[in-house]
Amino acid sequence: MESWSVEGNGVPCPPRGGIECGQSGVTLRFTIPIASLVRSEVRLKGSEGLMHRPLGPLIEAMGQLGVEVGVDGEEVRVTSGPPTGGRVRLPGNVSSQFISGLLLAGPLMNDGLEVELVTPLESRDYVCLTIETLKQHGIDVRTERDMSVFHVTPGQTYRATEHMIPGDYSSAAFLISAAAITRSKLLITGLPPQESEPDSDFLNVLAQMGVVPEFSSGGLCIEGRRLKAAKVNIKNCPDLGPVLAVLGTYADGQTEITGAERLRFKESDRLAAITSELRTLGAKVEETDDSLLVSGPSALHGGTVESHDDHRIAMALAVAALNANNEVTIHGAECVNKSYPTFFDDIRALGVGVVER
């Protein structure tokens, strides 16, 4: 089993050169507040697509702390730190990553940190995961039930601990969906109990659609069967949107996916991307500002589709292809390397014919 050992001295140090974020929104948004603690300019680099994703509310929040954050093309510069702390206000419905990044940096601010949300928090389970991780490192974050205000008291010190990194439900969802639509049996190991992982809500949705996964001593067991349509709100688990749309194409009735507005601000406009590409394959999908209506079951006829340089779109289309009547070609499928570099190797191992061109 691969392991990593990380040694630190309690405070961030100036990096050598810039920090490469690639296409990772979580890397950029977590690192900006942490970089503000360094007593020199820090440069964060990312892809063009990453720089088009929402960043304004975090930049404004950092400004409230006296930290200047500037965006120049594919580079973000963090200067004027370190912040002493205090109170910041920002929306809770743009990205939970803004809040998590601030909470990670807050304990090292001399005056502590208070984060007030001016709109209700979405994807709250991800912030809960951040707070739980901070607790494991000896950091206390106080909040109310509605999670509208977060308090980080000053004078806290991070302590070292050990973590066992669990399997990822947002990636496993594609394999689970593959088993569901092909009516296959599949055992997946390494996934944590549902209550500890935000995207594990996918299993509840799958149960609504007629497939009930079961945990055993060996792992998570899935046996695919005829799917039925469901109404799903993905406000707190937006990454599941594309693969749920694929399940909808194979389900009896109309599947309604709501609370999906933030899908427009991911690596691609995922609402538009999955709608366009599933239609290319013969699916019946209607798109609104913040939802998808998917009518099924559809007889997908195969064809050529685009990944939109988005790992979750590429994997969703690969799953959709499994029951198509003809071959499906996915342009730019290598983008799966962002989150699941062995995805195509894994589905090959399950008996799927995958040819690289």
Are the C-beta atoms of 294 and 263 separated by less than 8 Å? no
Query: Counting every residue, how long is the chain?
Result: 357
| Secondary-structure breakdown of the chain: helix, strand, coil percentages, each rounded to the nearest 5 | 35, 20, 45
Burial 19-53 (b: 16+ CB within 10 A, else e): bebebbbebbbbbbbbbbbbeeebbbbbbebbbeb
Are the C-beta atoms of 272 and 288 separated by less than 8 Å? no
The verdict on whether 239 is a catalytic residue reads yes
Marked catalytic residue, from 239, 269, 289, 346? 239
Residue 222: closest CA among 195, 203, 239 = 203
φ/ψ of 236, rounded to 5, equals: -100, 0
Strands 86-90 and 141-143 come out as: unpaired
The 141-143 sheet, strands edge to edge: 86-90, 113-117, 149-152, 141-143
Q: Which helix (H) or strand (E) holds 235?
A: none
Are the C-beta atoms of 272 and 252 separated by less than 8 Å? no
What are the residue numbers of the active site? 239
